[in-house]
Amino acid sequence: MDKKYRHIRFVYLLSLFTFIVSCPGQNSKQGEFFKWDELATMPAAAGQDEPLGVAGPFAGISSDALIIAGGANFPKPYWGMDKVWHDDIWVLEKNDSDYRWYTGFKLDKPAAYGMSVTTEYGVICIGGADGQRCFSDVFLLKWDRSAKSVIKEYLPPLPLACAYGGAAVFNNIVYIGGGQSSSELDTAMNNFWALDLSQKDSGVDYSWQQLPAWPGPQRAFNMTVAQHNGKTDCIYVISGRKKKNGGIEFLRDIYEFSIVDNSWKQCASAPRALCAGTASAVGQSHIFVYGGDDGSLFFKADELGDSHPGFPKDIFAYHTITDTWVKAGEMPQTPVTSVALNWDDEYLVVSGEIRPRVRTPEILRGKLHETDNSFGAVNFITLCVYLLAMVAVGVYFSTRNKNTDDFFRGGQRVPAWAAGLSIFATMLSSITFVAIPAKVYSTDWTFFTINMMAIAVTPFVIFLILPFFRDIDATSAYEYLERRFNVFARLFASFSFVLFQIGRMAIVMFLPALALSTITSFSVEQCILIMGVLSVIYCTMGGLEAVIWTDSIQTFVLLGGACASILVILTNIDGGVGEFFAIANENAKFHTINWDFSSTSFMTTAIWVMVIGGIGQNLVPYVSDQAVVQRYMSVSDTKKARKSILTNALIIIPASLLFFGVGTALFVFYKMNPGKLDPGYQNDAIFPLFIARELPIGISGLVVAGIFAAAQSTVSTSMNSISTVVVTDFVKRFSLLKTEKGYLNLARFCTLFFGTLGTVLALLFASADIKSLWESFMSVLGLFGGSMCGLFLLGIFTKRVGGISAIAGALIGAIVLFTVKINTGVSVLLYAAIGILACVASGYVLSFVIPEKRKDIAGLTVFKSK
């Protein structure tokens, strides 16, 4: 009977959970992206009595001033006057919140409908026309704030005259796509040129370079924009028009140029033609197009005259990762042949033509709507209950810490399964919980191989590394280095470890804080303080046992939150699981192996890079990281220690499938619902965006608790392991205190001190702007960890290498890795492997050169065991 009711209860709970996750999200509606107002009104052009505005001006930002130059307009009465081409330069200087116009400056000649981009050198003005001919001139305009004057400098001319095209700049390289070489549309081109501005002051002769043309028709009145597509930086050529069979065809197509691969691909076409529109990159992966002519009234302009309704006011957003378009609101009025600029995180649309012959002198300013950070009482209660429970665990275990063995090793009474879960939670961190789904959402499953390498190194660790730590009954992993080499090797590794862990604490607190601040009412700094302070409290009180048991709880919270997210997505996809796999496969989101063995594959995510890099990155923590070694030293014997490592390896497979699956699910969800994407969120925060707006109330609070859990498990681990190393290797080693109680008090103080230090550094780190924090984290791991791992491998797998050779090898390894990092394009994924190999190779070679006194190393290498 009990078994029967147990099954009924299971079905009931499963049904209830399915119902909850299928409920609609708490804040999933997306309104207008921008709030628009008028920044300023342009002054009148020379020879005109009132401000009329201009179409096709050059415009950009220089020295915190808006420069507008040239352009064309029709005087009043609009339908009775000829077009006037201007040579005026207007400057709107910003001083705090005040703006002031400066006028009276001139171009060398009237010009309009050229291209312009803002660069660190000033405003680059390219080509243009005067109604009779097009120009190939390229020049730089700079604003001198002290002299209140415009400085002009000529740059290399275009290969051909060009107007009515588009320009973009990335990494000081200006790209030109589209345009026409005369006043006739039949001279429209599919030109794609680039000018490297970094060569401007180098003294070398430089010029525009011809790049491969896009695989589509020639065009003019198009837009050219630089933006990231989740994998690499790209240039986009959008819409335009061309001659066709004696008439005019308005284009909807869009093409993406990969700067890294030097290749093009066609993307999803726009919902309608956006000819002569204005576009800007917004956020990390959006392109917004403001207006643009759809051609529906193009041939009726003369007939409609003053009754023309004006050009469409629609704003369209193109998302480069999901390759989707969505209508994103409307503007007060939408000029064509204008210029879009980003000025201090505000988006400007400068003057332009609002209907045939009519310009506007207005400079429109758009600001992204601030994110709705309402988290809800239920979610906050869920989060608070979880956080208080973690503190309660620390209070409970505080009574069990009688000496440093209890505080640092849990008295070696921790169950093997709990130690294994703690290893998993420690290695997981907030970087995995937030950034892996974000990475997969932006790219594919290529990084999956790295996780699988953790399983590949498990037998190596269990049978060849673990026994040496167990044999010497180590509290600090670096005790082995003193026995094998000398005390300096121990102190060098310990000091390196402390530095790495302090930096790691800062990173793993900052990343979730960045995400959490966007979905709660807390600031980044407040989120960091919550995580840091609570981790310090329960870690200082409860020691390693508190850390391990909270890690075990947090593992279930992490995995449960990820499961809930996938279930919510699947229940909200029309077509269910089948449609999910269909969309993911169609977009190659399950692509796992990059079979690149070219001469430049060391810079990519090639399979061999993933395998070697993954082995290196997983060897570092399992071989030389006190935080991991401490876990498998917290159990009572070697057999249980092996079980703890094996438990971790077994969890990695389903957990990796789960977290990579979340990333793919996020892509599918937003591919089907592009209007729910928010350009105000960074790509690394895509999972928190989903949590905040799509998960049901309560479940959202639970998953946010999972983000806190991921960070706290790593941070608390770092605090305890740093304390262990400092007390064991730097104080107890030299018997600086007299009593065990003194060492225990010092352990608690070190936990408090270094926890506080890590929190302060996280607050400083909050100002960093990093495209993918996961890759940056792995870069740090390889840079600091390779030499330490190399030291252990030299000790365990060689007999002749002594302390001096080993330390020299470690230093050389660090120098080699630093040189590689600064001077080459080697993938950050290989840094750990490079550091290990450089340390081992140089240390072994030096052992033949540097004479050292032999010491007893019985039982300390694989060649001699007890």
Q: What is the mean pLDDT of residues 686-710?
A: 81
The Cα 89–Cα 79 span in angstroms is 26
Confidence of residue 10 (pLDDT cuts 50, 70, 90): very low
The Cα 69–Cα 150 span in angstroms is 11
Domain(s) labelled CATH 2.120.10.80 in the chain stretch across 34-368
Query: How far is C-alpha 587 from the chain's CA centre?
Result: 21
Look at residue 200 and tell me whether its pLDDT is greater than 90.
Answer: no
Kindly give, in sequence order, each residue whose CB lies less than 8 Å from that of residue 768, ignoring residues fewer than 6 positions away. Answer: 510
Joined together, the tokens standing for residue 610 give 């993933």
The Cα 126–Cα 70 span in angstroms is 12
Per-residue pLDDT at 639: 94
Confidence of residue 768 (pLDDT cuts 50, 70, 90): low
Examine residue 159 and say whether the peptide bond preceding it is cis (omega within 30 degrees of 0). no
Does residue 254 contact residue 234 with C-beta atoms inside 8 Å? no
Does residue 424 contact residue 654 with C-beta atoms inside 8 Å? no
- Average pLDDT over the chain, rounded to whole? 89
Look at residue 432 and tell me whether its pLDDT is greater than 80.
Answer: no
Q: What is the pLDDT of residues 742-760, one digit of tens each?
A: 999 999 999 999 999 989 8
Look at residue 17 and tell me whether its pLDDT is greater than 50.
Answer: no
Phi, psi of 667 (to 5 degrees): -60, -50
The Cα 729–Cα 626 span in angstroms is 12
Look at residue 771 and tell me whether its pLDDT is greater than 60.
Answer: no
Confidence of residue 797 (pLDDT cuts 50, 70, 90): very high
Per-residue pLDDT at 392: 84
Confidence of residue 201 (pLDDT cuts 50, 70, 90): confident
Look at residue 3 and tell me whether its pLDDT is greater than 60.
Answer: no
Per-residue pLDDT at 1: 45
Domain(s) labelled CATH 1.20.1730.10 in the chain stretch across 377-846
The Cα 711–Cα 767 span in angstroms is 19
Does residue 320 contact residue 256 with C-beta atoms inside 8 Å? yes
Joined together, the tokens standing for residue 167 give 């320009």
Confidence of residue 15 (pLDDT cuts 50, 70, 90): very low
Look at residue 19 and tell me whether its pLDDT is greater than 60.
Answer: no
Q: Bigger pLDDT: 789 or 779? A: 789
Q: Bigger pLDDT: 687 or 250? A: 250
3-class DSSP string for 673-714:
CHHHCCCCCCHHHHHHHHHHHHCCCCHHHHHHHHHHHHHHHH
Orientation angle between helical segments 448-456 and 638-672, nearest 10 degrees: 170
Confidence of residue 767 (pLDDT cuts 50, 70, 90): low
Least confident of 153-167, 725-739, 848-862: 848-862
The Cα 802–Cα 699 span in angstroms is 56
CB neighbour class for 522 (10 Å; exposed up to 12, middle 13-18, buried from 19):
middle
Confidence of residue 519 (pLDDT cuts 50, 70, 90): confident
Side chain identity, residue 225: V
Highest mean pLDDT among 57-61, 311-315, 479-483, 578-582: 57-61
Look at residue 303 and tell me whether its pLDDT is greater than 60.
Answer: yes
Q: What is the mean pLDDT of residues 322-328?
A: 96
Per-residue pLDDT at 543: 85
Per-residue pLDDT at 769: 52
Per-residue pLDDT at 806: 94
Q: What is the mean pLDDT of residues 519-524?
A: 81
Q: What is the mean pLDDT of residues 500-516?
A: 80
Closest alpha carbon to 814 in 791, 844, 847: 791
Q: Bigger pLDDT: 464 or 774? A: 464
In the chain, what percentage of residues exceed pLDDT 90?
A: 61
Confidence of residue 13 (pLDDT cuts 50, 70, 90): very low
Q: What is the pLDDT of residues 23-41, one digit of tens each?
A: 445 555 555 789 999 999 9
Look at residue 524 and tell me whether its pLDDT is greater than 50.
Answer: yes
Per-residue pLDDT at 372: 66
Q: Bigger pLDDT: 39 or 561? A: 39
Per-residue pLDDT at 323: 97
Confidence of residue 373 (pLDDT cuts 50, 70, 90): low
The Cα 828–Cα 814 span in angstroms is 14
What is the tally of helices (H) and strands (E) in the chain? 22, 28
Q: What is the mean pLDDT of residues 800-804?
A: 93
Side chain identity, residue 623: V
The Cα 566–Cα 581 span in angstroms is 13
Give the full edge-to-edge strand order of the sheet including 166-170. Answer: 166-170, 173-177, 192-196, 209-210
Per-residue pLDDT at 4: 46
Confidence of residue 63 (pLDDT cuts 50, 70, 90): very high
Least confident of 283-287, 371-375, 631-635: 371-375
Q: What is the mean pLDDT of residues 476-505?
A: 89
Look at residue 5 and tell me whether its pLDDT is greater than 60.
Answer: no
Per-residue pLDDT at 14: 45
Confidence of residue 242 (pLDDT cuts 50, 70, 90): very high
Q: Bigger pLDDT: 703 or 242? A: 242
CATH class of 377-846: mainly alpha
Look at residue 318 and tell me whether its pLDDT is greater than 70.
Answer: yes
* CATH superfamily entry for domain 34-368: Kelch-type beta propeller (2.120.10.80)
Q: For residue 767, how many other CB atoms are within 10 A of its CB?
A: 8
Please name the residue ranges forming H helices in 259-314: 301-304
Per-residue pLDDT at 653: 93
Q: Bigger pLDDT: 769 or 608? A: 608
Per-residue pLDDT at 517: 82
Give the full edge-to-edge strand order of the sheet including 339-343. Answer: 34-41, 362-368, 346-350, 339-343
Least confident of 396-400, 828-832, 836-840: 396-400
CB neighbour class for 726 (10 Å; exposed up to 12, middle 13-18, buried from 19):
buried
Per-residue pLDDT at 544: 86
Confidence of residue 320 (pLDDT cuts 50, 70, 90): very high
Least confident of 304-308, 714-718, 719-723: 714-718
Look at residue 781 and tell me whether its pLDDT is greater than 60.
Answer: no
Joined together, the tokens standing for residue 391 give 């503190």
Q: What is the mean pLDDT of residues 598-614?
A: 93
In the chain, what percentage of residues exceed pLDDT 70?
A: 93
Look at residue 8 and tell me whether its pLDDT is greater than 70.
Answer: no
Q: What is the mean pLDDT of residues 169-173?
A: 96
Per-residue pLDDT at 80: 85
Per-residue pLDDT at 30: 55
